[in-house]
Amino acid sequence: MPEPDLTTDPAQQSVGVVHAVRGAVVDVVFDSGKLPAINTALIVEWDRPTPLIIEVHSHLDLTRLRAVAFQSTAGLARGVSVRATGGAVAVPVGTPVLGRLLDVVGNPKDDGPALPDDTPRRSIHAHAPALRNQTRTTDVFETGIKVIDLLTPLAQGGKAAMFGGAGVGKTVLVMELIRAMVEKYEGISVFAGVGERSREGHELLTEMRDSGVLERTVMVYGQMNEPPGARWRAPLTALTISEYFRDQKHQNVLLLMDNVFRFVQAGAEVSSLLGRLPSRVGYQPTLATEVAGLQERIASVAGSAVTAIQAVYVPADDFTDPAVTTISSHMDCVIVLSRAQAAEGFYPAIDPLASSSMLLDPLVVGDLHYKTAEDVRQALARFRELTDIISLLGVEELGAEDRLIVKRARRLQRFLTQPFMVTEAFTGTPGASVPLSQTLSGCRAILNGVADNWSESSLYMVGTLEDARRKEAAAAAAKEAAA
């Protein structure tokens, strides 16, 4: 494989030797001249076909430095020559990377042709745009997913996170958002797969090829089997590509990350290898700084918006975990996926009461949307309060008003489920994308009692209320024919 093209300054290049190797952390000794600066890329000149790139992390003394490796260090010995490049890791950006799958240092990993020699490159380390240059928008980013558009509207140019434990549907929701948005979203998509399984990466690549959206998408992977250094820096590579399209091409960018918790986890692994004392729950003492350094770079400037949607794994379903609370503090929109919802078969398994959005304001979304969302949330909250009473005494023991609320809340619960296009092959149910106007009118109709006499199953896993009406009519006709 050809050596990656890194930003180099020949005047600053120097040569050292490997002094110690601790997993992904490598100590290097430079006998003469100045030590390379922090974040400088070094190339280990070993006898393997693929070059080993390490990044300077700290200076130990006047001649020794400590670096983090981006590839496996298996087989690396003391005394091997290390060359400083004089600059940070620079990854390819721009039009040539569209439709490609890259690793953390920008090498194509999709068995496609090599990138052109004149492909522009940018350092993965950059400052966030100055606050005076950043713009805010209140434009709602319509997704076609009912529960999100109604209760947790996304902002164009905002940051949204989906929090959930293992197996509650984070990756499926991200894939559906990619498919739903890219089809009607005029811009570039950049996907960062951080610490994900190879199977998930392959599924996503195949799905995007089949749906025809890959040509406007860049995929960056630091996978689960790669060293922590690769997982730690993969989001920065994706961000660098996004920033180029935002700043140089003045295009809107949709940035998707799956999974930001793995970024934190990789930072904790690196911190441990570097010998730092752990902080709360074993996390790195620099947790808040690392998360802020990543999140603050996700910003919109005049004329170009970067909209970020991030999946966040919640360890052991503990939403008070330091990593979860630190990440959520940077978000405009918080979507919480609930294991209880998934257990009852309500997909997407979004908890309507725990999720929130800064855009759900009558001045932003309008009075009708705000009132409908509040009424839906109020009905679902009352139903949740009454759940224990119903399980002990039965719904018949409730007052007439509460019985009506429970009836409508159960129908709302089912109406807010939705079949996804990306799961069509597994479920056999055609996916549905629902305009916001149809979602609002459907919820208002259920709240007003239109569906009181319908069976609950007619509203389960449908798109619009008209689809539910047809399903109810078909069920009634089948029942009549059977009689």
Active site (catalytic) residues: 170, 196-197
Q: Please list the alpha-helical segments (H only) found in 2-79.
A: none
Q: What angle do CA 463, 468, 469 make, to 5 degrees?
A: 140
Kindly report the number of other CB atoms within 10 A of residue 136's CB atom: 11
Residue type, position 51, single letter: P
The b/e string for 276-300 (b: 16+ C-beta within 10 A; e otherwise) is eeeeeeebbebbeebbeebbebbbb
Helices (H), 212-308: 228-247, 260-273, 287-295
DSSP tag of 156: T
Question: In the chain, how long is the greatest CA-to-CA distance?
Answer: 94
Q: For residue 402, give every residue at least 6 positions away whose Cβ sits within 8 Å of its Cβ, in sequence order, or none.
A: 382, 386
Cα–Cα distance for residue pair 324/164, rounded to 1 Å: 10
Amino acid identity for residue 118 in this structure? D
Q: CA separation (Å) from 207 to 36, 200, 211, 228, 326?
A: 43, 10, 6, 27, 32
Quote the CA–CA distance of 119 and 298 in Å, as a whole number: 23
* Long-range contact pairs involving 211-217 (C-beta distance under 8 Å, separation at least 24): 211/179, 211/183, 213/178, 213/179, 213/182, 213/183, 213/189, 214/99, 215/98, 215/99, 216/98, 216/99, 216/182, 216/187, 216/188, 216/189, 217/98, 217/99, 217/178, 217/182, 217/188, 217/189, 217/190, 217/191
Whole-angstrom distance, CA of residue 371 vs CA of residue 443: 11
